[in-house]
Amino acid sequence: MKKRIGHILIVAGLLAWAPQAFAQQSVVGSPHDLSVSGPGDAHALFEEQVCIFCHAPHNATGQTPLWNREMPPTHYRIYRSSTTDARIDQPSGPSKMCLSCHDGALALGLVASRPANEPIVMSRRTIPPGPADLTQDLSDDHPIGFRFDRALFNKDGQLRNPDLISKELPMGVHNEVHCTTCHDPHDNSLGDFLRIPDRRSAICLSCHDLNGWESSSHALSPKTVSGRSVDPREKLPYHTVADNACTNCHKIHSATEPERLLRFRREEDNCLNCHNGSIAAKNIDSEIRKPSAHPVQRFNGRHDPDEDPRLAQQHVECADCHNPHASQAQIVSQSNRPGLGQISATMRFVSGIDRSGRPVENSRFEYEVCFKCHADNGSRNARPAISRDVTEVNTRMQFQPNNPSYHPVIAPRSNNDVVSLISPWRVGSMVRCTDCHNSDTSGQGSAIGVNGPHGSIYRPLLKANYSTNEYVTESPRAYALCYQCHDRSSILGDESFPLHNVHVSQGRASCSACHDSHGINRMRASSRNHSNLINFDRSIVRPASGALGARVEYEDLGRYSGSCTLVCHGVTHVRFEYGR
């Protein structure tokens, strides 16, 4: 009878702490049942009471709800991230109660209602090592001990308004997030004592409002992970990428990479463990191992989502170009199709650098994403692949529309001298970086084609072959990249430059000997001497002696006309004029 009255008092105490508990299932038989009948590896050897491990009607600690465990003043290592706007403090309140077992330090049988020298005898002294043992290092666990209030909501654009958060996720007295916000210690009907189902990360998305998530590939993908867990060390609870959602990449507790709770320490492994042909349709892992590639494996620990790309250390990671919370599949390749240079669906909600060199939070144009690394950042120690008459390694400056000449990446060109364009290209069309820099399999169909500048067999990460050596035998393959947009018969038929055939076919001079494919910086040249992308390769073109001394010089004399002073392939030109 005394034991029965004790249980009634315990339930009455629980009412004061969690009124909703009566609508939930019993703790009996759950992993929190540490009695002699408990199902877990850690259980009492003789004690039959279930609630006594956390609550007691008499001789408790005085804390609600009739708390029966001492909580030593443990200092925990807490979560830190450059991208969090919350002030995260030491655990308190209900979280500290949970940690009195789950930090693995305090004996399970040591309860306040019994003398310290007479603890409940247990099969294990402390919680066994494993997922339930969070240790005193909480830096690899979802943060607790911070206020989720209007102030935080206003700072972080990807959180939901706390006033609209489901009441099924109770906050603390001051709107703090505690362990008990997500977990109900008395009800394990959903598994892991969750208050809301975790299928499709419903519990995560109750608080997190990620830009572009609902229509993203990772939110909708039916790809199966059955038979091969995304993380070989841990079997995921659901069969598809969509159903596992956030947990495909993140671990809520005991994450290998603490900051941002990633499954793998190396950033790229969190992507390539699926994008290696095992789950995702395209094998990106094989692409980045090609002779010319964005070498994501070379860098580790340098990328930060909050970085200023103009000042960041040299690196490249998948997340520099793709937002995994928003990326969508690009159904139709944009390569070699006129457009306005907009980003593809795979690059939604990715930061960039605009044409003026200013950071933008969400890029609108593909070149803005590329400019993060290939423009003003000085840490990459860029060396020109070809030694030019005018040297410039900042691609943002090469493509400026007030330059003497440029490929139309930032803005269209109105140059009627370009008569060799293949339909649908025309004067005034704009191109993307990926029209030239792309996988060598781009556009080859869904079976084998991989779009995007991940890797290529052609340097420097080109979609097709472009021979830049001296004495190149002209062929469709030698200049396959150029001939994607420029009609070969027009070039060899001298429709623009009257000596194209002589130079390219007979003289075996490459396109790159005369032309700089990006553009020429206006600060270092003028339209008089660097129109039509003329910027000589100085390893091939050498100075010629004339009345004004040895020099390399091109002069634009009007449409289809000009003069050159230089030595090329042993032939000396001194103010050699041409025209149609």
For residue 519, give both structure tokens. 């553009």
Predicted confidence at residue 262, as pLDDT, reads 97
Contact between 432 and 366 under an 8 Å Cβ cutoff? The reply is yes
Q: Could you give the C-alpha distances from 229 to 46, 219, 278, 327, in angstroms and in order?
A: 39, 17, 10, 22
Strand, helix or coil for residue 116:
coil
Which range, of 19-33, 94-108, 514-528, averages the lowest pLDDT? 19-33
Beta bridge partners of 250: 262
Q: What is the DSSP string of 233-258?
A: TB--SSSBHHHHGGGGTB-SSS-SBT
Among residues 363, 267, 353, the alpha carbon closest in space to that of 309 is found at 353
Confidence of residue 7 (pLDDT cuts 50, 70, 90): very low
HSE-up of 372 (CA within 13 Å, CB side)?
30
For residue 302, give both structure tokens. 């340098």
Contact between 372 and 320 under an 8 Å Cβ cutoff? The reply is yes
Summarize the confidence of residues 527-537 as an average pLDDT.
95
HSE-up of 378 (CA within 13 Å, CB side)?
1
Contact between 369 and 361 under an 8 Å Cβ cutoff? The reply is no
What confidence tens digit (pLDDT) does each residue in 483-495 have?
999 999 999 999 9
* Percent composition of the chain: helix, strand, coil (DSSP 3-state, to 5): 25, 10, 65
53 pLDDT above the threshold of 70 = yes
Beta bridge partners of 262: 250, 257
* Neighbouring C-beta atoms of residue 19, cutoff 10 Å: 9
62 pLDDT above the threshold of 90 = no
* Alpha carbon distance 255, 141 (integer Å): 7
Among residues 66, 121, 130, 132, the alpha carbon closest in space to that of 99 is found at 132
Predicted confidence at residue 229, as pLDDT, reads 64
Contact between 535 and 520 under an 8 Å Cβ cutoff? The reply is yes
Question: What's the whole-model pTM score?
Answer: 0.90
Predicted confidence at residue 446, as pLDDT, reads 64
Confidence of residue 383 (pLDDT cuts 50, 70, 90): confident
* Alpha carbon distance 141, 303 (integer Å): 21
Q: What is the DSSP string of 487-540?
A: -HHHHHTTSSSTTHHIIIIIS---HHHHB-SSEE-TTS--TTTSGGGB--BTTT
What confidence tens digit (pLDDT) does each residue in 116-153 have?
999 999 999 999 999 999 999 999 999 999 999 999 99
Q: Could you give the C-alpha distances from 366 to 215, 270, 311, 432, in angstroms and in order?
A: 20, 24, 20, 7
Instruction: Return the DSSP state at 391.
Output: -
Instruction: Return the DSSP state at 458.
Output: B
Mention every residue, 6+ apart, whose C-beta is less than 8 A from residue 449: 333, 439, 441, 442, 443
Predicted confidence at residue 24, as pLDDT, reads 42
Q: What percent of the chain has pLDDT over 70?
A: 93
For residue 142, give both structure tokens. 């979802």
Contact between 6 and 86 under an 8 Å Cβ cutoff? The reply is no
Strand, helix or coil for residue 318:
helix
